[in-house]
Structure 1
């Protein structure tokens, strides 16, 4: 009976001592023709080294040695080699295990595919949650690049067409920390230099998706920093997916793949679904921006320029937040007290929407009327405003600071209802935060609460600065850190004309896309003798 397993016995010189019929068929020679030949001569090229090594290991250890090796011929089959110590030398068998090997490989592929499908589903769920659930749509889009790397790409740049129709790269991320700064620098310059035929330009213009080699993209680019940076980044290819809303491009998702990485059909399908979600998020940001413009227009119409005040220089600034949901409640004002002293006001209505802007206009007018009719000091005005709000605006809360420049501008008298403290800057660079915490209770909570007044001397030419919390608060730092930055910048800007001081201060304190709206008021009262001169 023919054995299904090829069996070969060797002598001590590693020559064939005997072989069965299965071995003869496998090796393509009669069994008698194998005897006496060196094992290397009877085995296909490349197989002899593995067989001899296994036989020597079996002789050395006295145990069985097992390995899988490619079978001779075409077809990509596999043989299982088993070697052990025989009667004289070593013996070995060869069994065809191709079916078993392919079944194992198929099971492993299925497991990997299932794992990959699970990973893609989890990624899609995370991106969908981030982009569809976030009120702050632009911030969510800035996080998108980090979400898709490394799951779908080695690097990513997210491009958004802003409210003015201009494309902006809003975020980038690379799986390699050493190349993140390089990618960020590329994102800063690429849109200004990409030719019209490039995949990104076509996606922005026509909404066309593309998969292109980095070599082809470099061939389209003119010599310069952008081309040098992309070459240094070293991707092998890029997948460009348009972000669309109502069948028009509103941005682009660019996925970069390093050498050796490719996208499967499932990867591309997931990337397209993410692009769809991102397009909806961009559209939502655009709609929020339209609301922001309306709210900002309303707020600016209520924030009139301060009146001319003898011997006083008053400068005001208002910076809207990047997101519509953050605009609405900040205000400032300046007017003369009935006794002739300049009065300046800063305030912030709780809430960020058109309703907050409308309430702000109502409170601003109420405060002016109370100040003119009552003629009292800052604390009296806050008490009157709190009482009026309890009856006329019972659901409104606000913070406010009122300051009055008395005795020819040599004394500042102020009261604070839950607002960031005033700051005084002298010409020599001394900066004083008139800190009493956040002052008394904010307006609209308890009209019977005590309202206190404070005074501070004002050196000649000193500037009083009032501001809303958006100037000193950020998501990544608290008010204390913000006040430290404010003092440092004001010390450096001391002595500057008020317009320049305010503009430079805002440029230094605020990020490129402000997280909250900001109102700022600076007043400087010159002494009478200096004014006359």
Structure 2
């Protein structure tokens, strides 16, 4: 039999079911609402479900088992939600929400400071605005519970509770001021750490290695109560179990975040750090790298006779190998452009031969243009690449280019070049297929969407290639899809003629 739910402790969230532990009978002056811990023992002869009704020992055991099942079910549901997160930001938010439900709080924050010093160091809040987090950061670190944890203060399995901040005489004045401003009166903090094993060396003549358990700090989480309160023993136990499970998952998401950042940095370093300044044209570029790193690139290279070499391209695949291949092809194309850039077909023919000899299992698309700003003319050669888009005051149209196969697909690549002539003030937009693929629609709809976005560039913005590129990118990929993780890279290169 189940007794009524125990009284709410520290404002426990009703979304987390409380175990229906049987309540032991107490003296008339005792509190009738104190919940019995799952680990407590009681004299079953004196236990009742209701006054005057004896409770058999088997019923008490059944009731405790029901409470344990309830707790396990709650933990299972919360951890299932956690493992479905695939980004560090989402994982931190789920940790804060689940922890707040388990300990009965409404707000909280988590700070990551990996012990290896490789970062990223970050802070995320629940129910706290960015300004609120800024206020908390003004408090001396050693005055904050999570700050003391990050500084290495030993914390037991029960966490670090401050049940009444304003009754604490040793509370730092700055902490008191910030707590009053933000409206919290108590806190509860837990460490986030991962555990592993390490070899400590040979032991004895047998050559066996001793393995020791080591703990690596990941960060700390703290939850705030609006009124003086603290979690009870059951809440602490559940929160401790949850954070011990969450920490390894957050550590994996952290490694993914580091890998993404490294790949993005590597890809950016292989691309031009700045665009050249050539009389007669203005240049602007946009580049978005996928989470695993992709092989899309762009280039703008000053050439003899006041000419300019323009290129966009994409290497098949993703990850470090695709990024490395992209860097090799881009560097090779620059060399060929310097030697014979006035003949774009020869440049791509040389590039195709190099790709076929050095990386026979890989293909690539490319578009190379020999730009003569004084004549407002671009001589183009393309290998399986999408046509450029001309954007002017009186026209928005795709340039007609010859149909050709990607590099590395045929025994010998060959395609005629075409000329694109622009009017004063017009912009030629070069792009990679990733821009079209990220729309998620068929190719014809993606091309139509790109055309509509270019045609919709405000007249005032057409004087600035930066504004043109930004407008096209945000219009073709609305709702944050330009910044969201995607398997596809995106490259835009806008060339405006004076």
What's the TM-score, normalizing by structure 2?
0.61
How far apart are 1:254 and its partner, in Å?
3.3
Q: 2:308 aligns with which of 342, 346, 351?
A: 342
Q: 2:427 — aligned with what?
A: 463
Partner of 2:148: 202
Contact 1:431 1:487 in 2 (8 A): no
Conservation of the 8 A alpha-carbon contact between 2:99 and 2:239: no
* Equivalent position of 2:67 in the other structure: 112
Partner residue in 1 for 2:266 = 295
Residue of 485, 488, 493 corresponding to 1:521: 493
Partner Cα distance (1:261, 1:475) in 2: 49
> Are 1:100 and 2:69 matched, yes or no?
no
Shift in CA distance, 459/444, structure 1 to aligned 2, threshold 3 Å: same
TM-fit CA distance, 1:76: 10
More helix by share: 1
Question: Contact (CA 8 Å) 2:280, 2:373: kept in 1 or not?
Answer: no
> Structure 1 residues 161 and 460 mapped into 2: Cα distance closer, same or farther (>3 Å)?
farther
Aligned partners of 1:241 and 1:275 also within 8 Å = no
1:515 to 1:443, Cα distance in 2 relative to 1, 3 A: farther
Gaps of 5+ in 1: 1-69, 78-94, 174-181, 527-533
Paired position in structure 1 for 2:192: 243
1:168 corresponds in structure 2 to 122
Higher RCO by CA contacts (8 Å cutoff, separation 6 or greater): 2
Partner of 1:392: 358
Give the alignment's Cα RMSD to 1 decimal.
Answer: 5.4
Report the CA distance shift for 1:512/1:272 in structure 2 as closer, same or farther (over 3 A): farther
Change (3 A) 1:270 1:248: closer
| Residue in 1 that maps onto 2:458 | 491
2-side partners of 1:189 and 1:484: how far apart? 44
Extract unaligned runs of 5+ from structure 2.
1-24, 33-49, 195-213
The aligned counterpart of 1:49 is none
CA contact (8 A) 2:391 2:427 kept: yes
Structure 1 residue 371, shift from structure 2 partner: 5.0
Shift of 1:346: 1.4
Match of 2:36 in 1: none
Superposition deviation, residue 143 in structure 1: 5.3
**Greater shift in the superposed pair: 353-362 or 400-409:** 400-409
> For 2:386 and 2:459, how far apart are their aligned partners in 1?
21
Superposed CA deviations along residues 5-45 of structure 1, whole A, max 9, x for unmatched, are: xxxxxxxxxxxxxxxxxxxxxxxxxxxxxxxxxxxxxxxxx
For 2:191 and 2:108, the matched residues in 1 are separated by: 13
- State the secondary structure of the residue aligned to 1:266: helix
Q: 1:512 to 1:480 in 2, by over 3 A?
A: closer
Are the structure 2 counterparts of residues 481 and 410 from structure 1 closer, same or farther at C-alpha, using a change threshold of 3 Å?
closer
User: Where does residue 240 of structure 2 map in the other structure?
Assistant: 269
> Residues 472 and 486 of structure 1 are in contact (CA less than 8 Å); yes or no, is this contact kept in structure 2?
no
What pairs up with 1:69-88 in 2 under 5 angstroms? none
Number of paired residues? Answer: 414
Question: Which residue pairs with 1:44 in the alignment?
Answer: none
